[in-house]
Amino acid sequence: MALSRRLLPLFLRRGAGARAHLSTAAAAAPAASASEEEDEQSVTVKGVRISGRPLYMDMQATTPVDPRVLDAMLPFYLSRYGNPHSRTHLYGWESDAAVEAARARVAALVGADPREIFFTSGATECNNIAVKGVMRFYRDRRRHVVTTQTEHKCVLDSCRYLQQEGFEVTYLPVRGDGLVDLGQLEDAIRPDTGLVSVMAVNNEIGVVQPLEEIGRICKEKGVPFHTDAAQALGKIPIDVNRMGIGLMSLSGHKIYGPKGVGALYLRRRPRIRVEPQMSGGGQERGIRSGTVPTPLVVGFGAACEIAAQEMDYDHRRVSALQQRLLDGIRAQVDEVVINGSMEHRYPGNLNLSFAYVEGESLLMGLKEVAVSSGSACTSASLEPSYVLRALGVEEDMAHTSIRFGIGRFTTEEEVDRAIELTVHQVKKLRDMSPLYEMAKAGIDLKSIEWSQH
């Protein structure tokens, strides 16, 4: 694990700490002026200049690779580089053995049989195989899908694609806390329903759906239950048998593993069949053709093994950091709203709306913190987040949301710095907001009739 000890500081080093690594010649040189030193350490990307690399709090987008995962992967890039499907020599045999060991590690984390795990390029591909593959295989008898309005876009787009092929889809609303209404879900299932797809942990608001209850309903109705668990794997306990899950989509880079690899869980008993979405050499027992990328799969397996060992510790630590962040912001800023349930929530995802603040302006002001907005204000669309709108969040508040992502390598110092910068920027923007001034004066903004010019 020598490599791990060398790489770990790279995850923890921030800003001024990098100055400790200056060369002897640089240390002996005359001290530069403050402005010159700042210029040397500044970073300019896409026209935005910041004093250094921002602290990272966007763990729902991706996570850093754990150094222990990289240790496991490197031999399969440098010396054990055989194709796992080569059956005639040592290179292929050892790669194949490594792939099967990784498959067992992924299966162990979710209580599955290794034969039920199929490697893919990521959760998006898994969702496409699950949603389209099941419905196309059973197209003669099953013509209806049930899902929710807050699913990941790849699930919603797959459902819309099926609608173009003549299938029917029911998009269930969610309650104000982001949870699906189990009564509505049960009522929506029809005799010709072929699939129920509900995300385990929402990527925008972190809400954890009642998987076991949904699985029980689907089992009673005789309908396969699919869940997108990309944001849940390694963060909350998952048992596919206890939860009645028939298909599940998993991702490597959400649990400190490499990008470009995922896995589909596909139940064997009772057997669920899918129509493959890719033609080729028949790898992964015909479900997903294409050469299995051994280093990525090994890294995914290592990440799952580490998650199984450290999930409880990570959960306690992340919960404490989330509370520290929330308390720190609320102690200095009013009119802060938490989006989604706090009781049924993964603590590493904290989605907050700041009243009387425009989300894009807040994001631009937080250049030293890498966070995301719950709204689409940074994309080509000016529409607010469809997830927040499904919760019933008003459009102006949906536009002000910021998602803070906390993870395994997040430090207390980073949380405190994020609090400081967020509070400063919110207060600065509110000082410029006539709406905030009017609200503080007791004026009901909803009662005002705004004239249009």
* 250, HSE (Cβ side, Cα atoms, 13 Å): 33
Q: Which of 194, 282, 285 is nearest to 246 (CA)?
A: 194
List helix spans (H) across 62-210: 67-73, 75-78, 90-110, 123-137, 153-164, 182-188
φ/ψ of residue 119, rounded to 5: -80, 140
Rounded CA gap, 378 and 356, in Å?
Answer: 18
Rounded CA gap, 228 and 308, in Å?
Answer: 19
DSSP 45: E
Map tokens 């404490």 to a residue: 320
Rounded CA gap, 408 and 314, in Å?
Answer: 6
Q: Is 377 part of the annotated catalytic residue set? A: yes
Taken in order 320, 321, 322, 326, is the CA torsion positive or negative? positive
Give, rounded to a whole angstrom, the gap between the first and last alpha carbons of the chain. Answer: 67
Rounded CA gap, 418 and 325, in Å?
Answer: 8
Residues 6+ apart with CB under 8 A from 347: 206, 315, 318, 319, 322, 323, 406
Q: Given the residues 126, 218, 304, 377, select the one marked as catalytic.
A: 377
DSSP tally for the chain: helices H, then strands E: 16, 15
| Tokens describing residue 154 | 């790849």
Q: Which of 155, 138, 111 is nearest to 272 (CA)?
A: 138
Q: Which of 343, 315, 335, 338 is nearest to 406 (CA)?
A: 315
User: Do 179 and 209 touch, CB atoms closer than 8 A?
Assistant: yes
Taking CA atoms, 47 is separated from 38, 43, 242, 452, in Å, by: 17, 10, 51, 35
Taking CA atoms, 211 is separated from 114, 198, 215, 223, 244, in Å, by: 21, 8, 6, 14, 8
CA angle centred on 163, ends 260 and 182, rounded to 5°: 80
Distance from chain centroid for Cα 418: 20
User: Do 391 and 178 touch, CB atoms closer than 8 A?
Assistant: yes
Q: What are the catalytic residues?
A: 377
